[in-house]
Chain A
């Protein structure tokens, strides 16, 4: 099944870490030797059955994989069209898909003899997952988080601290995910000997986009097998929210060579795609270089990076993983925008019809399902990656809805 297929869309990146013209390794020379060391270590680990066995052990017994595939029957009835299935990544330990990647990277860090972990986080899900695996393996951990996000994701900040992580609020720039990533890279460049940087999404310099994708591909692989068992066939649509794009890439990648499966990534349209308050780097950005890779970015005419906006801290990023930029350019995946208001409505709809409180990130993808499911035949199937649970969003949703907690 994993034989190399000529013309497969799954063969990327190339030797320079590129997906078409996107990706690459745009980092300062100080980091370049580390990136090359990481690439060599990852290639060696991938080829080592004992690494895979170790990864499988933790994914099964610690993360709780495989995650369930759920037929969302009441939501399906409510929308009156295609059958909707949820891949329940929110049931993973720590409540989101982020842990899949963190387990993989910390096992690699241990193989490389690294003794200190750093990470950036937006919504705090990746920070919590990183702090969790650091507690599990007894490694010190520093999490960089934009000061604005520290404020709007208080429960996750406290969770990270309980887990023993140091949380550093970043107040430069817009004080959100982009700025947290800048400061994490500055930490890494200052602590090259002992520190491993666990990037949480399919972005950054090569090999991160490919490595994070590989660790997240278990989402799509499991879902493919589970849906086959339930329905005996592939989905017609696979859909996920995209910020940096790790949960979407994990879902999409195993379906890339299945042309009958339509792939839809949902960007955060914030106050609207035609306002200046959104995070739609594919729909409204253009290619450039930030955080070590060439990809679509929100930027002004002078190439200065523009701050993103989304109600969801996890989508509030002015870039996107380079493989998504490539899939966008070649037209293999479609990327649409969902506004804050549409996501909030879908958040409530999912909660009431399925008894599942989704993360605001995932609610963006649900909102697009609300738009398309009714227009599809009842024998069609939509597969959603329900990437995280919404407990962390309760305070900010309450605020938007005017409820006093």
Chain B
């Protein structure tokens, strides 16, 4: 069983949802990212999503855009991100890591080599924002060969008719982009999730993670009532900018407590 599947199987047994916090690699430097990864794993993160900085992150709001710029200034490149993963893995073989980014740096690195190197470094899943299902044949074979999950985005605009097409070839979990918009802006309401999550459930057996606009322990708890995981990114990056690593870990802990207190609404 893959690390990601193992995490969701364990949580399902205990009736809890997963917390997936986000770290933009090299924001503001490599050392901070490494401390955050270890600290998050020790403070309630079930899976960690790592952003691979790109100059033109079209689906991201101002917070992640700025984090990506800081990461690039600190010298982030895919080789560096994989090095970071590798170093984390040398002492943590348990917490799944999912890389999130845009296609062009991966194309530039070479898709085949990237998937092989990512697997070797200990990457469990990939989210490539600007690779919709129509173009996914570019990545799926190499990812599958290296046993890396390709996690697909599903949006409020994805129709029921389109769901099976988008879900074909996806593995690990599905990432529900709960609002139409960029990261870190609006937040989906409980009634939005009550409406949207069941229609995705009906189309897949994969766990469903909800991201975009999940900021507080209370919001994470709402997500946990309907979905299998809550992804929190912009709010944590803002905390890092405003305060420090310790404050981010404090927030991760609080999010984890919020999620663990929630009881899943029967599907």
Contacts and interface: CB of A to CB of B under 8 A. Distances in A.
Contacts of A31: 157
Interface of B is mostly: loop
Interface of A: 16, 24-34, 172-173, 178-179, 182, 185-186, 189-193, 288-292, 297, 299, 301-305
B56 A173 contact: yes
B155 A30 contact: yes
A14 to B, nearest CB: 13
Contacts of A292: 130
Most buried by A among B135, B181, B182: B135
B88 interface: no
Contacts of B180: 30, 189-193
Nearest to A24: B135
A289 B130 contact: yes
B134 interface: yes
B215 interface: no
B99 interface: no
The residue in B103, B130, B186 that gathers the most chain A C-beta atoms within 10 A of its C-beta is B130
B245 interface: no
B129 A189 contact: no
Given A32-B158, A288-B107, 14 more contacts: A24-B135, A27-B132, A29-B177, A31-B157, A33-B157, A182-B56, A190-B180, A190-B185, A288-B108, A291-B56, A302-B108, A304-B77, A304-B104, A305-B104
15 contacts: A24-B135, A28-B58, A28-B129, A29-B155, A29-B158, A30-B177, A30-B180, A32-B132, A172-B65, A192-B180, A289-B104, A290-B104, A291-B58, A302-B78, A303-B106
A303 B58 contact: no
Contact of B158 (A24, A33, A289): A33
A169 to B, nearest CB: 14
Nearest to A32: B132
Interface in B47-68: 54-59, 61-62, 65
Interface of B: 54-59, 61-62, 65, 72, 77-79, 102-109, 129-135, 152-159, 162, 166, 177, 180-182, 185-186
What is the predominant secondary structure among interface residues of chain A facing chain B? mixed
A303 B132 contact: no
A27 B182 contact: no
A29 B108 contact: no
Nearest to B179: A190
A27 B132 CA distance: 6
B107 A289 contact: yes
Max count, chain A CB within 10 A of own CB: residue among B59, B103, B133, B159: B59
A186 B65 CA distance: 12
B23 to A, nearest CB: 19
A190 B180 CA distance: 5
A258 to B, nearest CB: 33
A302 B153 contact: no
Contact of A189 (B54, B59, B103, B135): B59
Nearest to A185: B58
Nearest to B175: A29
Pick from A30, A182, A190 the residue with the most CB of B within 10 Å: A30
B77 A302 contact: yes
Contact of B58 (A186, A192, A297): A186
B55 A304 contact: yes
A182 B58 contact: yes
Given A25-B134, A26-B130, A182-B58, A299 B157 contact: no
A186 B153 CA distance: 16
A24 B72 CA distance: 27
B58 to A, nearest CB: 5
B132 A26 contact: yes
A178 B56 contact: yes
B162 to A, nearest CB: 6
A33 B162 contact: yes
Contact of B103 (A26, A182, A192): A26
Contacts of A16: 134
B104 A29 contact: no
Give the residue among B58, B61, B62, B152 with the most A Cβ atoms within 10 A. B58
A292 B135 CA distance: 11
Nearest to B61: A186
A236 B155 CA distance: 51
B59 to A, nearest CB: 5
* Central interface residue in A29, A291, A292, A301, by most chain B CB within 10 Å: A29
B105 to A, nearest CB: 4
Contacts of B155: 28-30, 33
